[in-house]
Structure 1
Amino acid sequence: MRKNLFGTDGIRGPVGNQPLTQQSLIRLGNALGQWVIQFHGENKTILIGHDTRKSCSFIKAALHTGLLLNPITIYDAQVLPTPTVSQLVQKTDLFACGIIISASHNPHQDNGIKLITKHGKLGEEDETMLTELFYENEKNKIHYNHLGTQESWPDGQRLYSAHVASFFEPNFLRGITVALDCAHGATYKIAPSLFKQFGAYTHVINRHPNGTNINHECGSVYPEQLQKEVIKHNADAGFAFDGDGDRVIAVNKNGEVKNGDDILALLLAHSNYKKQSALVGTCITNYGFERFLQQHDKKLIRAAVGDKYVVQKLYEHDLLLGGEQSGHIIMRDYLDSGDGIFTALRVLQTMIQTSNWTMNSFTTYPQVQINIPIYEKKDLSKEPIASIIATHKTRLPDGRLVVRYSGTENVLRIMVEDTDATHAEFLAHDLSHALQNQL
């Protein structure tokens, strides 16, 4: 059986491991070129952007080699956030699809490939087609009759900024002080530029990428530096992006971290979303937020973890707003994928509309999350693992337990939520210890 190349967010893993090897990337590039020619009509142009990892040059060169075996045109935009590529593909007629070379919030040793079509992230049907083409190229002879072309394309930041600007009043941030953590990643130029364009006073940290410092103890996964920066400069708010800029975590003026649940709660007060009867979260979304929604006669629809599953539920229920605790926020009136920069700007717009500068909206339930490194993904429904999980669930009459494999890293994730923080902490570690003996 042929292994699917794609996880919950494209292809991702350590560079040098399959399929992120030179030969496999060339085959993948060839498959992508064939796929564009077969299924994208007259438009045979591909936009490529990437984050700031050292390995992006290696991956891009190998992909280009395979892509150019086909009569297509590649536009190389260099460093661009993932949502910038998404917006340029979905909101213009310039490109058949987009390729993003990034591993998002992962450390610099990892990298990955995300694909964007006119309809958003790649669907399962297209993933299957590309996987089949990839394996077929292993045995097919390469033909050099119709080679493609490659061009540099410097217009990405300008076009993206113009589109974002159309959603906000000019200088709407005048007089507001904002701290930004760019994680030494893809937002390091474009985020400070946009916030200044809207009139904000900005204090920016982690904006000097060197190829290996992306996400290193900074950005959305490590907001501690941003907390200090907000307090130091008496900022009105702070925002930490991840390596490719599709997620954001906020810090309020008091230096308190606000995750995706808090951001969604605030955005519900925005004029575009206050009439929505429901929004989409995930199995990790805090139960305190769900109770907050119930008190406001609104419903929480839970999706599997992964922004593409949130998007599916948004379309299924014809809703505009959804997201993940990790900071992937989807506003379908703007784009059907997460955009950390746009989310931060809309959060500030909502703060101005509501005067809620603390982002305090609901009381969270104590929640403990533990990651267990793994070498293989054993079936969680098989014994004795299933019984271990079931037994621990019975010890949570007033709480929730979620055990799942990460779609982007080799870890098993445990989430325990309970009214009693001490009990949640104890149960999470007890379950972690029990499962480690079986994994």
Structure 2
Amino acid sequence: MARKYFGTDGIRGRTNEAPMTVELAMKVGQAAGAHFLRGDHRHRVVIGKDTRLSGYMMESALVAGFTSVGMDVILFGPIPTPAVAMLTKAMRADIGVMISASHNPYQDNGIKLFGPDGFKLSDEDEAAIEKALDKAPRLAAAEAIGRAQRIEDARGRYIHAVKATFPEDLRLDGLRVVLDCANGAAYNVAPAALWELGADVIAIGVQPNGTNVNDGVGSTAPQALQQKVLETRADIGIALDGDADRLIIVDEKGKIVDGDQIMALIATGWQRRGLLQGGGIVATVMSNLGLERYLEKAGLTLHRTAVGDRYVLEAMRRDGFNVGGEQSGHLILSDYATTGDGLVAALQVLAELVESGKPASKLLACFEPLPQKLQNVRFKSGAPLETDGVKAAIADAEKRLEGSGRLVIRKSGTEPLIRVMAEAEDPALVSAVVEDVCEAVRRAA
């Protein structure tokens, strides 16, 4: 059944436009709260957010919704998504909420929900909550209305947990790290964690003002990081996104290192230390074929899933893997976190860097990626992928790539975009195929 509100990563949209309105946020609080009212204990929800201006508004609406059905609320303020997931379980909460639109611009916002185990909600739970959104809520009696409070030590708890993932016998002394926090949720915790481990931290994207999250900084705009790494002669650059569940690296030469190379490094490093589970890693259909070939040479497998970190995590939990992620930088290390955590993944990279003594440009060039091109086409309405012209263009592209490459076409789960990706040994063929399909989509859109 098609979803009305939930996408691949919660509910997301432009603020003050359906569905991302205060009315819906309050209803989400009521519906999700009622869904998790199980047992006779005092029920609790924890809520974090990133630095968007609209976060205050959405937070207040969610508080009203949860308390109206009898749930107590604990507010963290700005804190990374993985911190909310961790603290949901650690504080024995019945549900966790993150208010963020991740890497999207400040005009957007979103609501991500976590169950009491710290994992994102199952399809069944989301479907039940979505169904309840269109019904009258079951309001608590006056004496059972929930209470709300804000706690100040959530960031410290997360910093302590993150540092515990770094090998005890290593330090970051003498390592110059440029850290880009995207003016987002990690602007405070990420620099503190690296500094406490001994790094010389040069922080950018750490002055949020409500409207500058992901604006020219962060993992989706790494040019500022590249420039600062070269300017300061840093050993490595680290870029997080607005809610810090995504990681992109820049080596000492200013070259961008994507999630595929990072997964390759972590997988083989963990294999060497006997930590890797499942005999390989989990990644999506977007990951480069070069990664798959690299892992095969190391005696490891690459299990592919649909795009979306929730699908990666589902496969990891089902099949016993402890490393997975996406080329875009969502990296899940399930020994340490129940969702993608950019800072935890960055510490694993830094541990390899310190232990190996190699420059980042050598360490992180694990494999030669096949020429790959990803292009997005925005559309306003309708279903352009269902038109005859687009179907014909796709069929032609697949025929041209047969035996030499891959074509992946999908509708974004968070934005009105059609994403077209191709890869093959011949870069000219890749470029031509992508452009032909995109042109067909533009005509249909």
Counterpart contact for 2:180–2:204, Cα < 8 Å: yes
CA apart distance, 1:159? 1.1
For 1:110 and 1:126, the matched residues in 2 are separated by 24
The 3 A distance-change label for structure 1 pair 267 and 407 is same
| CA deviation map 1:5-64 (0-9, x unaligned) | 210000000011222222222222211221221x36625111111000000011111111
Segment drifting more, 272-281 vs 321-330:
272-281
CA apart distance, 1:142? 8.2
Counterpart contact for 2:412–2:419, Cα < 8 Å: yes
Counterpart contact for 2:183–2:206, Cα < 8 Å: yes
Q: What is the match of residue 391 of structure 1?
A: 396
- In structure 2, the residue corresponding to 1:395 is in which secondary structure? helix
Counterpart contact for 1:72–1:149, Cα < 8 Å: yes
The 3 A distance-change label for structure 1 pair 290 and 171 is closer
The 3 A distance-change label for structure 1 pair 87 and 287 is same
- In structure 2, the residue corresponding to 1:269 is in which secondary structure? helix
Segment drifting more, 214-223 vs 262-271:
262-271
Return 5+ residue gaps in structure 2 as ranges.
Answer: none
For 1:311 and 1:190, the matched residues in 2 are separated by 25
| CA deviation map 1:72-96 (0-9, x unaligned) | 2100111111011111113x14322
Q: What is the match of residue 4 of structure 1?
A: 4
1:324 aligns with 2:326: yes
Counterpart contact for 1:269–1:354, Cα < 8 Å: no
Segment drifting more, 375-384 vs 8-17:
375-384
Q: What is the match of residue 372 of structure 1?
A: 377
Q: What is the match of residue 110 of structure 1?
A: 108
For 1:425 and 1:144, the matched residues in 2 are separated by 63
Counterpart contact for 1:171–1:197, Cα < 8 Å: no
For 1:20 and 1:156, the matched residues in 2 are separated by 26
Segment drifting more, 19-28 vs 365-374:
19-28
- In structure 2, the residue corresponding to 1:380 is in which secondary structure? helix
1:54-69 to 2 correspondence within 5 Å?
A: 54-69=53-68
Q: What is the match of residue 174 of structure 1?
A: 173
1:362 aligns with 2:367: yes
The 3 A distance-change label for structure 1 pair 170 and 52 is farther
Q: What is the match of residue 427 of structure 2?
A: 421
Paired-residue identity, %? 35
For 1:116 and 1:15, the matched residues in 2 are separated by 21
Q: What is the match of residue 301 of structure 2?
A: 299
Counterpart contact for 1:182–1:243, Cα < 8 Å: yes
What is the number of equivalent residue pairs in this alignment?
Answer: 436
Q: What is the match of residue 96 of structure 2?
A: 98
For 1:340 and 1:181, the matched residues in 2 are separated by 11
Counterpart contact for 2:12–2:101, Cα < 8 Å: yes
Q: What is the match of residue 47 of structure 1?
A: 46
Which letter does structure 1 place at the counterpart of 2:293?
R
CA apart distance, 1:170? 7.0
For 1:177 and 1:18, the matched residues in 2 are separated by 45
Q: What is the match of residue 231 of structure 1?
A: 230
The 3 A distance-change label for structure 1 pair 379 and 41 is farther
- In structure 2, the residue corresponding to 1:221 is in which secondary structure? coil
The 3 A distance-change label for structure 1 pair 366 and 20 is same
Which letter does structure 2 place at the counterpart of 1:279?
I
For 1:352 and 1:382, the matched residues in 2 are separated by 53
1:322-361 to 2 correspondence within 5 Å?
A: 322-356=324-358, 357-358=360-361, 359-361=364-366
RMSD: 1.9
Please report the TM-score for the alignment, with normalisation by the length of structure 2. 0.94
Which letter does structure 1 place at the counterpart of 2:145?
L
Counterpart contact for 1:237–1:251, Cα < 8 Å: yes
CA apart distance, 1:387? 2.4
Counterpart contact for 2:268–2:298, Cα < 8 Å: no
| CA deviation map 1:256-288 (0-9, x unaligned) | 100000100110232254575211110000001
For 1:69 and 1:435, the matched residues in 2 are separated by 46
Counterpart contact for 2:86–2:338, Cα < 8 Å: no
Which letter does structure 2 place at the counterpart of 1:146?
A
Q: What is the match of residue 128 of structure 2?
A: 129
Q: What is the match of residue 441 of structure 2?
A: 435
For 2:371 and 2:177, the matched residues in 1 are separated by 29
Q: What is the match of residue 410 of structure 1?
A: 416
CA apart distance, 1:385? 2.8
CA apart distance, 1:422? 1.9
For 1:63 and 1:307, the matched residues in 2 are separated by 25
Q: What is the match of residue 35 of structure 2?
A: 35
CA apart distance, 1:353? 2.8
CA apart distance, 1:149? 0.5
Which letter does structure 2 place at the counterpart of 1:257?
I
The 3 A distance-change label for structure 1 pair 182 and 276 is same
| CA deviation map 1:180-223 (0-9, x unaligned) | 01111011011000000000001111110111110012100011
Counterpart contact for 2:172–2:199, Cα < 8 Å: yes
Q: What is the match of residue 160 of structure 1?
A: 158
Counterpart contact for 1:28–1:134, Cα < 8 Å: yes
| CA deviation map 1:110-164 (0-9, x unaligned) | 00000111330011111011112211127x7886453110011111111111222
Please report the TM-score for the alignment, with normalisation by the length of structure 1. 0.95
Which letter does structure 2 place at the counterpart of 1:128?
A
Counterpart contact for 1:4–1:128, Cα < 8 Å: no
For 2:91 and 2:65, the matched residues in 1 are separated by 24
The 3 A distance-change label for structure 1 pair 86 and 40 is farther
